[in-house]
């Protein structure tokens, strides 16, 4: 009795997938930022507390209005704007959507990402004050998404104390010291979510603006303060930078800067590659690898190296925590 309905739904879903793939492929092949392809249907701009997403919107790689955003658009924009390897961005956006009980095809605004249900916005940001997010369905005030000078000054002072050389390189350790300064600053508790997101965020920004040795401070300020790509300062985009493997390794390095980074309030520990891998690639025990592969293909990415990396990550996750080196697993209980 239900066969015609199921058949009709299947046909509709196949048409949707083909349309999504074609749109994403055209977007990739066009050579134009996303904002030039999309009409600004909603006059009021929307921004998030993530300087990277705001930068992509300001530069036109996402709709400049900050509305009509999708997971595929973000994945493509991260690659076309920053050069960020698409699997890294896909893990982040899919984790947020799953936390918010939304499908991979959902349409949202940049400010929606700040909702507590997404579990992406976190305490101890380098450039935003801590806030208590209102319960669903309410979003935080738009003003909380804007750059705020006071917390940035705290992070910047720490960076100036550990920057290296004439180029003022900020390496993983220096990023960690800046984060530790913010943790010791006033604000809400630093929990496991803040530890994980803070580590992978700084690792990503370091790798896309520089490399494993660090990024120039002027490039970092361009993104965090002005929310613009630092091309006018000499930065050049590198395709497939900040891949998930390199990002996890850099995130581990930034956690080593201070014990306060590794021991969040309320228990737990975020110190090893396993700690970060398990939190970054999963949501409540559900491994997001398969979803990431689907999103990448729908977004027009077919580079086999990316899928090989995802298979390696899956194998590492199957091997489990026992294979991860940990110099001091009991350090947090000894504080």
1.10.489.10, 3.40.50.410, 3.30.565.10, 2.60.40.420: which CATH number matches 19-334? Answer: 1.10.489.10
What pLDDT is stored for residue 317 in this prediction? 87
Strands 286-287 and 282-283, by their bridges, are antiparallel
First to last CA, the chain: 65
Mean pLDDT for the stretch of residues 40-68: 88
The DSSP line for 37-75 is HS---SSS----S-HHHHHHHHTTSS-TTS-SB-HHHHH
In the chain, domain spans: 19-334
What pLDDT is stored for residue 310 in this prediction? 95
Token readout for 134 is 């209102």
* CA-based radius of gyration for the chain: 20
Give the max Cα distance, the chain: 74
As a whole number of angstroms, the distance between CA 87 and CA 90 comes to 5
The DSSP line for 170-235 is E-HHHHHHHHHHHHHSSSS---HHHHHHHHHHHHHHHHHHSBTTBEEHHHHHHHHTS-S-GGGGT-
Per-residue pLDDT of 130-157, as tens digits, reads 988 888 778 899 899 999 999 999 999 9
As a whole number of angstroms, the distance between CA 57 and CA 40 comes to 12
CB count within 10 Å of CB 154 equals 19
| pTM reported for the whole predicted model | 0.85
Per-residue pLDDT of 189-231, as tens digits, reads 999 989 999 999 999 999 999 999 999 999 999 999 999 999 9
Q: Is the pLDDT of residue 15 over 60?
A: no
Q: Is the peptide bond before 148 cis (omega within 30 degrees of 0)?
A: no
Mean pLDDT for the stretch of residues 18-43: 40
What pLDDT is stored for residue 329 in this prediction? 79
As a whole number of angstroms, the distance between CA 103 and CA 173 comes to 37
Percentage of the residues of the chain whose pLDDT score is greater than 70: 84
How does the average pLDDT of the chain come out, rounded?
Answer: 87
As a whole number of angstroms, the distance between CA 83 and CA 17 comes to 25
As a whole number of angstroms, the distance between CA 317 and CA 242 comes to 20
What pLDDT is stored for residue 13 in this prediction? 43
Q: What are the CA-CA distances from residue 53 to residues 83, 276, 280, 310 (Å)?
A: 13, 22, 18, 24
Q: What are the CA-CA distances from residue 131 to residues 64, 193, 299, 315 (Å)?
A: 25, 14, 33, 38
What pLDDT is stored for residue 120 in this prediction? 86
Pick the closest to residue 209 from 236, 182, 177, 189 (CA basis).
236
Q: DSSP character for 81?
A: I
Token readout for 326 is 């940990």
As a whole number of angstroms, the distance between CA 155 and CA 187 comes to 14
For 133-142, 170-179, 191-200, 290-299, which range has the lowest pLDDT when averaged over its residues? 133-142
How far out from the chain centre does Cα 44 lie? 24
Consecutive H or E run containing 287: strand 286-287
Mean pLDDT for the stretch of residues 289-308: 96
What pLDDT is stored for residue 88 in this prediction? 96
Higher pLDDT, 322 or 257: 257
């Amino acid at each position: 009795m239900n066969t015609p309905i199921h058949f009709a739904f299947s046909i509709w879903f196949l048409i949707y997938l083909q349309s999504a793939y074609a749109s994403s492929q055209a977007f990739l092949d066009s050579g134009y930022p996303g904002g030039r392809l999309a009409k600004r249907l909603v006059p009021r701009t929307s921004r998030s507390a993530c300087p990277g997403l705001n930068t992509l919107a300001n530069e036109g790689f996402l709709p400049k209005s900050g509305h009509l955003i999708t997971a595929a658009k973000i994945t493509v924009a991260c690659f076309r704007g920053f050069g960020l390897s698409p699997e890294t961005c896909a893990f982040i956006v899919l984790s947020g959507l799953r936390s918010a009980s939304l499908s991979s095809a959902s349409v949202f605004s940049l400010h929606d990402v700040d909702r507590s249900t997404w579990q992406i916005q976190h305490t101890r940001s380098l450039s935003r004050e801590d806030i208590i997010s209102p319960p669903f369905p309410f979003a935080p005030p738009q003003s909380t998404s804007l750059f705020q000078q006071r917390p940035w000054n705290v992070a910047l002072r720490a960076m100036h104390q550990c920057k290296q050389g004439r180029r003022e390189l900020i390496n993983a350790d220096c990023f960690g010291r800046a984060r530790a300064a913010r943790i010791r600053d006033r604000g809400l508790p630093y929990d496991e979510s803040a530890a994980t997101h803070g580590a992978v965020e700084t690792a990503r920004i370091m790798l896309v603006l520089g490399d494993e040795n660090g990024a120039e401070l002027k490039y970092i300020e361009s993104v965090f303060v002005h929310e613009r790509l630092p091309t006018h300062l000499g930065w050049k985009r590198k395709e497939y930078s900040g891949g998930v493997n390199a990002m996890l390794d850099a995130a581990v390095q930034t956690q080593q800067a201070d014990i306060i980074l590794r021991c969040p309030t309320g228990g737990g520990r975020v110190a090893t590659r396993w700690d970060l891998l398990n939190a970054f690639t999963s949501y409540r025990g559900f491994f997001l690898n398969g979803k990431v592969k689907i999103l990448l293909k729908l977004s027009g990415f077919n580079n086999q190296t990316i899928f090989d990396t995802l298979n390696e990550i899956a194998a590492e996750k199957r091997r489990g925590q026992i294979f991860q080196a940990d110099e001091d697993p009991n350090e947090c209980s000894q504080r």
